[in-house]
Amino acid sequence: MDSQTLGILLMFLGLPLIISIPVTAMIWGSHKRKMEAMRLESETQAIKNQAEIDLLEARMQILEKKLGEPRKIQ
C-alpha cells in the first residue's frame, strides 16, 4: 500500500471522527440546555405552588381570627 492510498484511507477513517466530535458536543449542549430549562421550570412551579399554599393558609388564619374558632383538620 503506497503512502497516497494510506493517506486517503486514514482521511476517510478520520473524517467521521473529526465530524462526530463537534456534532456530539452540539447535541449534548442542546440536551443540557433543555434539561436546565426543564429543571428551572419545575423549580418555578414548585415555588408558585408553595406561594399559593402559603396564601391559602394565611387566609384561613385571618378567617379563624374573625370567627374565633380554630380550624379542624380531618
Cα–Cα dist 50/65, whole Å: 23
Which residues neighbour 1 within 8 Å (Cβ) at sequence distance 6 or greater?
A: 9
pTM of the model: 0.59
Distance CA 24, CA 1 (A): 33
Return the amino acid letter for 43. E
- Report pLDDT for 17: 81
5-61 pLDDT, tens per residue?
888 888 888 888 888 888 999 999 999 999 999 999 999 999 999 999 999 999 999
- Spatial separation of the C-alpha atoms in residues 56 and 30, rounded to whole Å: 39
Is 74 a residue whose pLDDT tops 60?
A: no
Q: Would you place residue 72 in the very low, low, confident or very high pLDDT band (cuts 50, 70, 90)?
A: low
> Which uninterrupted H or E stretch holds 36?
helix 3-67
DSSP one-letter code for 55: H
